């Protein structure tokens, strides 16, 4: 079980690192951090992925929702480090 938990944390760390890169790109391009349309698609994909693996789709969506919130924070922080101001709105 611990190995599975460790892999989960490792994947979450990879996702956050990607979000930092995306945040810097968005800041450089003047793109808003948050994109609700993308978030809806990610949530829908998570529901489908969970269901296809015999998991509750709500659990898949909840897991991704948490990752999205942390990703938005990471992207905002990356944007602030480049521009001195976040771009969440």
Is 89 part of a structural domain of the chain?
no
Closest C-alpha among 60, 79, 68 to residue 16: 68
When divided into structural domains, the chain yields a total of 1
Question: What six digits make up the tokens of 25?
Answer: 């790109």
Is 63 part of a structural domain of the chain?
yes
What range defines the domain where residue 8 resides?
A: 2-83
Is 66 part of a structural domain of the chain?
yes
So what's the pLDDT on residue 89? 45
Domain of residue 52, CATH code = 1.20.59.10
Closest C-alpha among 15, 29, 30 to residue 72: 15
How confident is the prediction along the chain (89 residues), in pLDDT tens digits per residue?
Answer: 999 999 999 999 999 999 888 888 988 898 888 999 999 999 999 999 999 999 999 999 999 999 999 999 988 888 887 766 544 44
């Amino acid at each position: 079980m611990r190995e599975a938990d460790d892999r989960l944390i490792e994947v979450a760390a990879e996702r956050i690192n990607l979000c930092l890169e995306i945040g810097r790109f968005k800041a450089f391009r003047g793109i808003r951090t948050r994109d609700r349309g993308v978030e809806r698609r990610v949530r829908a994909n998570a529901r489908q992925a969970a269901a296809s693996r015999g998991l509750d789709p709500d659990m898949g969506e909840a897991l991704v929702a948490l990752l999205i919130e942390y990703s938005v924070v990471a992207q905002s922080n990356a944007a602030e480090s480049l521009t001195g101001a976040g771009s969440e709105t």
